[in-house]
Amino acid sequence: MDSLSSKKYNKDFVDSFNGDHSGDLTSRQTPGVLYSKALPTAVKNPQLIGWSDDLADQLGVEVPSEDDVKVLGGNFVTPTMYPYAACYAGHQFGNWAGQLGDGRAITLGEWLTPKGEIWEFQLKGAGQTPYSRRADGRAVLRSSVREFLMSEAMHYLRVPTTRALGLVTTGDMVMRDMFYNGNPQYEPGAIVMRVSPSFLRFGNFEMLAARKDIANLTKLVNWTIDRYYPHITGEDRVIRWFKEVVEKTAQLIVEWLRVGFVHGVMNTDNMSVLGLTIDYGPYSFLDNYDPEFTPNTTDLPGRRYAFGNQSSVAYWNLGCLANALVPLFETTAPLVEAVESYQNMFWQKYYVMMGNKLGLDEVRDSDLNFINQFEQMLSTVEPDMTIFYQLLSELTSDKITDEDIVIHFKEAFYKDLSLDARAIFLQSMKAWRERINSNRISKEESLKKMSETNPRYILRNYLLHKAIEELERGENQLFLRLQLAMKNPYSRNFDEFFMKRPEWATQKAGCSMLSCSS
């Protein structure tokens, strides 16, 4: 085990590519470089409030000492660190935004684990960088708690994700306009240390292509393959790499849909080339099942990033990455073919996932229509998604009357069923039972599939909101309880969180809709 403050950090990315080494934090364009040196700005009083023990054990990181907390707060940079902010671009809400970059994230260095894995350690909220534009590079407690808890919750839900190691308050107040509506307020500042094998995004490649920097584009693609896809060799390795990115992205979206996750801001600069969930901002899980739900106020009224649109947006984003790679190919045909493969790949993975959620032995051709109609029922009835699937697995054969079935699922309903909705619901329950009875596996095997696929607990926005309010009052009981529960989302040990969103949270700021500043 090594400490954050004494470990020798690597800097292979820095050594491999051109960067701006001036340390100038003035907001500006940085052509010709892939990163800019950016030292964290010291804070008043960093205090550790969150730590991921299991992740620390995996990485070989000691429990933080006083000096380590200074590292987490950006107040101490070790001699082997080379803090930098990455330069990248992106399409935001479907429009080309040009240079973006790490506006409030600073990578400290690369950590070598006892198993020989390399992870990037990054502070989010540690101060201004050349890519902060008009912002201060800081983060508030609200957004930092959300990223810290959600990164770890997604990992234990078995959704590919970046991770969060530590969380500190800074002792400073930060001005934020939570909903961009002209009502800025001071909020407590905080910094989260997030870690990942890489934070490379589609936008890193888009930036180089837009600047016609083909030499660095070629170099970055080859470096990425060598480092993260070393099994890919041969003259055709670039297209094979891109095909793997397509597949990883399809799998990622399927996992999001499995647990009801809505990212909220699927810009190309928020898409990982490792197929990880990256950049937790105005995210949410579905409460009531609504494919048109978006948690992001900035996404209104178009709802581009709504729950039901995430697959098509990923497809669009992959097209943007493919466009960035065009200079590396003699013809666009291989890239077009690879992008077009996404649709079949996604739907094949999606139906397998849905078959598991429903406890099917396999997904037969005849099941596709059944699954589609089942989802249409969910859109009509809008039960709580998480609770509904838990209750579905508990629907026993002795509940045979229509009234028995409706009562069984009552806990998942947010409103009384209309006559039409009740009829559609009962028809779907009948169809599900008939399909389950045709399984070629035992009931126990079917239930096992459902229990491994459907979480019992999710990190709901209203719970996060309550935990944040308590932390702002100096209390951490709910925060710690949520951290523990989210490590066991398929268990039955935390049933105080097995409940649907309360009515008061429907319109409560920070519980239903959030902004990109969240």
Are 388 and 274 found together in one domain? no
Predicted local distance difference test score (pLDDT) of residue 179: 63
Q: How far apart are CA 139 and CA 72, in angstroms?
A: 13
Are 433 and 493 found together in one domain? no
71 found inside a domain: yes
Predicted local distance difference test score (pLDDT) of residue 181: 67
233 found inside a domain: yes
510 found inside a domain: no
Q: How far apart are CA 475 and CA 468, in angstroms?
A: 9
Q: How far apart are CA 384 and CA 389, in angstroms?
A: 9
Are 349 and 478 found together in one domain? no
Element (DSSP H or E) covering residue 374? helix 367-381
195 found inside a domain: yes
Are 332 and 440 found together in one domain? no
269 tagged catalytic: yes
Looking at 303, 327, 355, the residue that finishes a domain is 355
Structure tokens at 196: 């990942």
3 found inside a domain: no
- Please tell me which residue in 68, 102, 213, 269 is annotated as part of the active site: 269
Burial classification of residue 507, based on how many CB atoms lie within 10 Å of its CB (0-12 exposed, 13-18 middle, 19 or more buried): exposed
2 found inside a domain: no
Are 195 and 207 found together in one domain? no
Are 143 and 250 found together in one domain? no
Are 155 and 170 found together in one domain? yes
Q: How far apart are CA 474 and CA 394, in angstroms?
A: 40
Structure tokens at 11: 């800097």
Predicted local distance difference test score (pLDDT) of residue 430: 95
C-alpha radius of gyration, the chain, whole number = 23
Report the predicted TM-score, pTM, of the whole model to 2 decimal places: 0.96
Q: In whole angstroms, how far apart are CA 233 and each of 114, 225, 277, 332?
A: 27, 9, 26, 21
Q: What is the mean pLDDT of each run of 10 residues along the chain (518 residues)?
A: 97 98 97 98 98 98 98 98 98 97 98 96 98 94 97 98 98 82 86 98 98 98 98 97 98 98 97 97 96 94 96 98 98 98 98 98 97 98 98 85 94 96 97 95 96 98 96 97 98 96 85 67
Looking at 337, 355, 373, the residue that finishes a domain is 355
Phi, psi of 211, rounded to the nearest 5 degrees: -90, 5
Are 342 and 399 found together in one domain? no
Phi, psi of 501, rounded to the nearest 5 degrees: -55, 130
Are 48 and 170 found together in one domain? yes
Predicted local distance difference test score (pLDDT) of residue 506: 85
410 phi-psi bin (left φ>0, alpha ψ -120 to 50, beta other): alpha
> Contacts from 465-469 at CB under 8 Å and sequence distance 24+?
465/505, 465/508, 465/510, 465/511, 467/145, 467/149, 468/141, 468/142, 468/145, 468/146, 468/510
Q: How far apart are the first and last CA of the chain?
A: 34
Angle, helices 202-210 vs 214-228, to 10°: value is 160
**403 Cβ neighbours under 8 A, 6+ residues apart:** none
Beta-ladder partners of 384: 288
Give residue 474's domain range. 461-505
Are 350 and 306 found together in one domain? yes
Are 146 and 191 found together in one domain? yes
511 found inside a domain: no
Are 478 and 391 found together in one domain? no
Q: How many domains does the chain have?
A: 4
Alpha helices in 167-309 (DSSP H): 202-210, 214-228, 237-259
